[in-house]
Amino acid sequence: MLKLNQVSKTFNKDSINEQKVFNNFSMDIEKDDFICVLGSNGAGKSTLLNIISGKVKVDDGDIILNNVDVTEDTEYEKCKRISRIFQDPSLGTNPSMTIYENLSMAKNKGSRFGLSFLIDRKDEGYFKELLKTLHLGLEDKLHTPVSQLSGGQRQSLALIMAVIGKPDLLLLDEHTAALDPKTSEIVMNITDNIVKEKGLTTIMVTHNVDQAIRYGNRLIMLHRGNKIIDVSGEKKNSLTKERLLELFKDMDDKSLFS
């Protein structure tokens, strides 16, 4: 459903800060894929998601979404069909608005933002139900401004907001990194449930190897803008942490000598 074709991206081209992140990078994402992306800091994981959602423009190559070339589409046009959660918890919600208002905004995604009132009292039950699944007690804070929530609570809310519609593609950038281990576990479970339930095509960046092994049907390891590991299906299911680290070590040695 999504194809990256020979994509290249260099930040600050022709300056001393030049940073080549991707060079002729290609990737094929099938419908209903749930891809976990691993990789060290600076490998290009966030940039990859930003390229897909249009936040970062590529220098070269094509992006094909559902057989349509969307390379030149602006960020907001791409976002009509894509939902995303940023690595930075402050980017996914509107801090001065309440949880209720944030959820109402997200619920209206894809419809017109015209002159009808945003807040619909009838949504209260539905929103409470959604928030209850998080077990964070947010259902009792519907009218609290999001600025008063913790980073973890914001990311969890952002997850609920991202999947309230049915996006063609869901991009998660370390969305559980700001959470405590227990909440991270809960949110990961919810993510998995929602992805399966709604049949969402998903790309999830994580630093947690256990999570990457446990969830999803495909695992990619990025290193300096290259896919050094890409396993799916049975191979992915039988993958263990030890095996993965071994693979990574091999690759790393090889890349040292190449």
Ligand X SMILES: Nc1ncnc2c1ncn2[C@@H]1O[C@H](COP(=O)(O)OP(=O)(O)OP(=O)(O)O)[C@@H](O)[C@H]1O
Rg of the chain on CA atoms, in Å: 19
Does residue 47 belong to the site contacting Mg ion (CB under 5 A)?
no
Residue 101 as a binder of another protein (CB under 8 A): the answer is yes
74 touches another protein (CB under 8 A) = yes
By CB under 5 A, name the one of 7, 46, 202, 244 that touches Mg ion.
Answer: 46
Bridge partners of 83, per DSSP, are 170
CB of 243 to another protein, least distance (A): 14
Q: How many residues does the chain have?
A: 258
Q: Is 211 in the site for Mg ion (CB under 5 A)?
A: no
> Residue 9 phi/psi, 5° resolution?
-150, 125
Contact at 8 Å (CB) between 33 and 218?
A: yes
Q: Which contiguous run of DSSP H or E holds residue 243?
A: helix 241-257
Which of the residues 19 through 38 are near ligand X (CB under 6 A)?
19, 21
List, as one string, the DSSP characters of 148-160.
Answer: GS-HHHHHHHHHH
Helix H segments across 133-240?
151-162, 181-198, 209-214, 233-237
176 binding Mg ion? (CB under 5 A):
no
Task: Return the number of the residue (8 or 19) whose C-beta is nearest ligand X.
Answer: 19
Of the candidate spans 39-47, 60-68, 111-119, 124-132, the one that interacts with ligand X by CB under 6 A turns out to be: 39-47
Q: Name the pairing type of β-strands 19-29 and 2-11.
A: antiparallel
Contact call for residue 206 and Mg ion (CB under 5 A): no
C-alpha torsion sign, points 13, 45, 77, 114: negative
Per-residue interface string for the shown chain with ligand X, residues 76-115, x marking contact by CB under 6 A: -----------x----------------------------
List of residues contacting another protein (CB under 8 A):
38, 40, 74-77, 79-81, 83-84, 86, 90-97, 101, 104-106, 108-110, 112-119, 151, 162, 178, 180-181, 207-210
Q: Which residues lie near ligand X (CB under 6 A)? A: 11-12, 19, 21, 39, 41-47, 87
